[in-house]
Amino acid sequence: MSDTETAAPARSGAKGVAIGVVLLLAALVVLYALNDRLTPGSARGIVSAQVVQIAPRVSGEVMQVHVEDDAVVEAGDPLFSVDPRPFMLAVRQAEANLGSALQNIDASSASLVSAQAAVTQARTALETTRAEAARSFRLEERGIASTAQGDQARASVAQAEAQLESAEAQLESARAQLGPQGEDNPAIQAAEAQLERAQYDLASATVTAPHLGVVTNVTLSEGQYIGAGNPALTFIDSGAAWITVDLRENQLQQVDPGDPAHLLFDALPGRIFEGRVESIAWGINPGRNVQGGLVVNQPANRWFEPARRIPVRIELIGGMEAWPQSVRVGGKVHAVIFAGGDDAGPMAWLARGMQRLRSWATYLH
């Protein structure tokens, strides 16, 4: 057999292999595209929860720390206390101020009663003076009384009227000083508000847990001074937890809230949990800065800009009762979403198989 005849089958075989490789690559590309659209997933999911920085509402010296780091606490359990003595003194001062305000109101009430009596007395005196003056005027008209006596009667009436006006002015002043009666009195309201504020500050001297959860990052010590509003420890609310998965924008075309998902926690190798898409974020921070009201684009330094990822929130089916105890906030999760709710198609079965393989592989790393 000649060399030409021998090379022909070899070229034919190489061509077949090349065609096979090209077809395989094309099939892989199609499979990858279908997988991205129908069963999008990510190995960079994160266990998320409500993480709150607990800070005191009042400033003071830490008197006692009631919890240890990573302790489970119930709602209302004391976490730490600051020195309550300044706030106790403030309560006593506010109570004294309220008592003083009530005494002032009583004194003003007495002054008001006295002023009302003075007005009544001045009005009676004016009526008496006017009656006596009327008799003097009649005698003056008949020539029995002198003009001097008539002038004296007129002067007495004018004096009585002036005394009545003075008494009425003092009555108005007493009413203004007293103000509204009872709880509507501004002085009493101010004193009561001061007392309520002092009592609130005293109650705030002991910081309590807002919900059932876990306290962590406890670095407080007795004798340490802490300011109001300064974070003292971290609280993880056990009443809400979810998985956050960042997917590329082109993976979200078929994803909708309510779509089922399979979740694999690194903390629990070999186990797959079921979840559902709760929501899809409406926006992200693209890394731009706002200066003077104008949006400034960050300069691109790559040939191809990396795909931006949108957070997808996934809830575990069964709620908080279904959450495994060994999973921690910030833990890694591999999530697969069955887009469009289709968890029974060929791509879904393939994704299930791959997820099962990953669950076994997590035993090794």
More confident residue, 147 or 314: 314
Mean pLDDT, the chain, whole residue set = 79
Residue 127 lies in a domain: yes
Give the pTM.
0.64
pLDDT tens for residues 53-103?
999 999 999 999 999 998 999 999 999 999 999 999 999 999 998 888 777
Structural domain for 175, as ranges: 86-201
Question: Within this chain, do residues 107 and 133 fall inside the same structural domain, yes or no?
Answer: yes
pLDDT tens by residue, 349-365: 777 777 777 777 776 66
CA distance 143 to 280: 109
Res. 206 pLDDT band, cuts 50 70 90: very high
Residues 141 and 98 in one domain: yes
Please check whether residue 300 lies inside any domain of the structure. no
Share of the chain above pLDDT 90, in %: 27
Question: Do both 78 and 154 map to the same domain?
Answer: no
- What's the pLDDT at 101? 78
- DSSP code per residue over 54-114: E--SS-EEEEEE---TTEEE-TT-EEEEE--HHHHHHHHHHHHHHHHHHHHHHHHHHHHHH
Render pLDDT for 229-242 as a digit per residue (tens, 0 to 9). Answer: 999 999 998 888 89
CATH of the domain at 209: 2.40.50.100
Give percent of the chain above pLDDT 70: 71
Do both 183 and 315 map to the same domain?
Answer: no
The C-alpha angle with vertex 131 and arms to 130 and 136, in degrees rounded to 5, equals: 90
CB of 277 closer than 8 Å to CB of 313: yes
Same domain, 94 and 75: no
**What is the identity of the amino acid at 116?**
Q
Per residue in 248-307, pLDDT tens?
Answer: 888 888 889 999 999 999 888 888 899 999 999 888 777 655 555 554 555 556 666 777
363, 243: one domain? yes
Confidence of residue 205 (pLDDT cuts 50, 70, 90): very high
